[in-house]
Homo-oligomer: A and B are copies of this chain.
Amino acid sequence: MARSSRSREAEDRPHKPVTLQQVADRAGVSIATASRVLHGADGRMVGAELSRRVRAAAAELGYVPNAPAQALRRSRSSVVGLIVHDVGDPYYGAITTGVMRVARERDLTVMLAATFQDPELELDYLLRVRNQRAHAVVLAGSGRGDEDFRRRLGEQVAAFTDDGGRVVCVGDHGVDADTVVLDDQGGAERATAHLWQLGHRRIGILTGPPHHATAERRLHGVHRALAARGAELPAAAVAVVDSFGDPFGDPLGDGARAATRELFARRPDLTAVLALSDGLAAGALTALQDDLGKSVPADVSVVGFGDLPFTGHLHPALTTVRLPLEKAGIRATELILDERDHRSTRRTVELEAELTLRDSTGPARD
C-alpha cells in the first residue's frame, strides 16, 4: 500500500497530505476532472475510463479530501454544532446519542460543546460554531442566565441564522428558532393520574427550586391533574430540594433523603411520593425504607421522573415518567436537515412523556 512506502521515508518530519492535484497528475487528468469524479455534485458526468483512473490514483496515493478547503470553497461546512451543559449527565448524554445517530445516517460532523452551566461559555461556543461556518447548531443546554444573557443569546442566534445557519433548541430557551419540547407537564399529569387511580389521595411532592423552569413545569402538571379531579395540593405536602436536576451535586441523594424525612414529619399520613426527578426519587426511596421503616410500595408508593438509566436498578425498581431524550436529539437534528422554504415559520415539535410502570407503586393502603 502507498501508506507503507510513505512512512518509510522520513520517520520524524510530518508529511504533507496528498492533494487532489497530485491525484489528478497521477491519473493524467485535470484537477477539475479529479474533483468531479471524487466529489462531483457538479452535475457533469465523467467518462468511465478516466473515472477509473482517478479512483485508482486516489486509492494508491491514499488521498483524503481536505475538509477545510472544501468548506472554504463552498462557504459552508457539513459541521453541526451541539451545545449541552454536560455530556456526563445522562440527560444530555441521551440527547447527544440521538444527535449522533442522525449524524451518522446523514453523514454530518458533530462539533460538541459543553458549557458546564456557564452562560458565557454558551455564547462563546455559539461564536465558535459561527467560526466553523457550521451549517446548523442544536442548543440543548440553556435556560439559566438572566434577561441580559437571553438578549445576547438571541443576538448570536440571529447572527447565525442571518448567515444562513440553522438553529434548533431542545427545550424552550426563549430563542426564536425551531424547538423540540418534552412534555414535562403532561408527564407529571400522567404520573399524578396514575397515583390517583391507585387510590392515593394524600400525595407528597419532591420538587426543585422555583427558579428551575423544568421543575416548575412538572409541578404545574401536578396542580393541573389534581385540579381536574377536584383536589388541590397543600403547601405542606411539597418539599423543595436544591439538587433537583443535578444528581452529581448530591450523588448519594442526601438532600432528597432529608427532605423526605421532613415531609413525613409534617405529613405522616402521606401514602405516595411523586418525586419530580429520578435523583430525588432515589433519595426518597432510601429515606422511606431505611430511615422511616416504611415498605415501598406496600406502605408508600413512589414515582420518579426522567427514567434515567439506573432507575431499573433501584430498589424496588422505580415507576417513573419516561422522557424520550434520545428521540428529542433525533428529531432536533432531523429538523435541521429538513430544508424548509419559509424560514419565518418557527416550528415546535412536542414529544410525549409516558409513564413506565415498575415496582414502586401499588394501591393506596387505606
Residues of A within 8 A of B (CB): 1, 3, 6-7, 11-12, 14-17, 62, 64-69, 71-72, 75, 77, 79, 82, 86-90, 93-94, 96-97, 100-101, 104, 109-114, 116, 121, 127-128, 130-133, 155, 158-159, 162-164, 247-248, 251-253, 279, 282-283, 285-286, 289-290, 308-310, 312-315, 317, 326, 343-344
A253 and B262 alpha carbons, distance in the complex (Å): 32
Chain B residues with CB below 8 A from A132, complex form: 67-68, 109
- Shortest beta-carbon distance, A259 to chain B, in Å? 15
A87 touches B93 (CB 8 A): yes
A310 and B100 alpha carbons, distance in the complex (Å): 24
A314 touches B315 (CB 8 A): yes
Closest 5 CB pairs of A and B: A14-B164, A310-B310, A282-B313, A68-B71, A88-B97
Which of B72, B86, B252 is A66 in contact with, Cβ under 8 Å? B72
A87 touches B77 (CB 8 A): no
Copies in the complex: 2
Chain B residues with CB below 8 A from A93, complex form: 87-90, 93
A285 and B283 alpha carbons, distance in the complex (Å): 17
Chain B residues with CB below 8 A from A127, complex form: 64
Chain B residues with CB below 8 A from A15, complex form: 162-164
A126 and B72 alpha carbons, distance in the complex (Å): 22
Which of B6, B155, B314 is A313 in contact with, Cβ under 8 Å? B314
Which of B14, B72, B114 is A68 in contact with, Cβ under 8 Å? B72
